[in-house]
Amino acid sequence: MSAASEVSFQSHNPSDGRAGRRYEGHSQAQALEIAQVARARFPDWRRTSFEERGALMRAAAAVLRRRQDDFAELMTAEMGKTLTEGRAEIEKCARGCEYFAEHAPRFLASEPVEVKGAKAKIAYQPLGTVLAVMPWNFPFWQVFRFAAPALMAGNTAVLKHASSVPGCALAIEAVFTEAGFPADVFRTVLIPSKFVRALIEDDAIAAVSLTGSVEAGRQVASQAGGALKKCVLELGGADAYLVLEDADIDQAATVAATARMINGGQSCIAGKRFIAVAPVREAFERALVEKLQAYPMGDPRKAETKLGPMQSVEARDAIHDQVQRSVAAGARLLIGGQIPDRQGAWYPATVLTDVRPGQPAHDDEVFGPVAAVIEAKDEADAIRIANASPFGLGSGVLTRDLARGERIATDELEAGSSYVNQNVRSDFELPFGGVKHSGYGRELTAFGIREFCNIKSVLVQDPR
């Protein structure tokens, strides 16, 4: 290994702000060497069969389930996720491993093409070593929804995780090691963001997957483009949910509360803007306030807790600043909006109404438990407001008229996902990604696994 690193990463418990374990990081030279070793393992790994890769991926699922409680505790300690949500996240990762172990052979099977006088097919071949730059909010799932398809396709992988979850980053590498994957097929590098460019530009890296902020996406897209390397970007969101005049208001508020409060509101696909048509806006507000009052702040280690701390005090303060600036610009607080007098990164469930353009709650992504209610005149106005955003990740329609909801979701809303009477989420059976400033490319399903494949045309002509 190359020269020792002077980089280290300090974890902090968001519940009380106390310092946790400190981890020694990698130097830039060490990170490049790790990437080069992963690239050197690629030729052998790509030649393994789907059966062999699938067996190892199922073994990884078994490791995840066996260590589910440990990993959930680690997420709670490093970024404040409730143990209940943490256990569910680990189970989702395990099911993701099993899903791609089962479906990868079909997703990547060569497809015959009819060409007159010749034999032709489309083949799906791995690209090489893929660099993943991942965020802290779903520290295991974000990685596994990339890693399971990338590895099953025959790529090797290098993970640069968020600096605030170093323990999770190393634990994920340990899962693959314990499952029996060959050495260096999946590696974690503990490096600051300033080292990422050197990795992207190194010949060892073939492509990049990033989940993160719009600004991080711009930087990675620019760097990958300059190196002529493909990237998949899943960026921020300000998901809009349309509450139409024929909606079941209680059911709509339940969906809205679930959509807003998942992971303490710290999710790109959390519902953030609830656009209610004028006849039902007040009734929807009352119902939403009632639903969110069932999310009191509590100890993330207790089973009954549904809202733990934010990821950090800095993140909490940024949320509060957005709320304060929105109120100063004319929004009204219905509940929440006050920092509690206690140690840690706590912020209560908050509802803002009278939300209009020019306010952060309207224009920007608020990455916490803050619901913005926006009034629309009618359906057409609601669609206009929903689409008048730089983001386009998820969206929803709440209505009793299913045909109407399907029409709006399919034809009108500018987003990568549009759900009718449900909260948007990432799932194995549906491709996931966004448009506009929410990124490009897709994860999950056949679309996701093919993102990091060379879609190769093969033609065989008999010379006789």
Give yes or no: 234 in active site. yes
Tokens of 254: 């339940």
Cβ within 8 Å of residue 164, ≥6 positions away:
11, 12, 78, 79, 136, 311, 312
Beta strand pairing call for 239-243 and 271-277: parallel
Give yes or no: 268 in active site. yes
Catalytic residue among 93, 168, 231, 268: 268
Beta strand pairing call for 370-376 and 350-353: parallel
C-alpha to C-alpha distance for 102 and 3, rounded to whole angstroms? 42
- Provide the 3-class DSSP secondary structure of residue 309: coil
Catalytic residue among 85, 89, 234, 379: 234
Quick check: 206 and 154 in contact, CB under 8 A? no
Cβ within 8 Å of residue 464, ≥6 positions away:
none
Name the helix (H) or strand (E) containing 291: helix 278-292
The dihedral formed by the CA atoms of 421, 386, 411 and 400, expressed in degrees to the nearest 10: 30
Burial of 254 (0-12, 13-18, 19+ CB in 10 A): middle
Residue labelled with tokens 């980089």: 7
Q: Which of 107, 95, 109 is nearest to 58 (CA)?
A: 95
Q: What is the DSSP letter of 436?
A: G
Cα 152 off chain centre by: 20
Residue 336 dihedral angles phi and psi, to the nearest 5°: 75, -150
Tokens of 142: 């974000």
Beta strand pairing call for 156-160 and 129-133: parallel
Tokens of 227: 């190196």
Cα 155 off chain centre by: 21
Q: Which residues of 78-92 are buried (b: 16+ CB within 10 A; e: fewer)?
A: bbbbbbbbbbebbbb
Active site residues: 234, 268
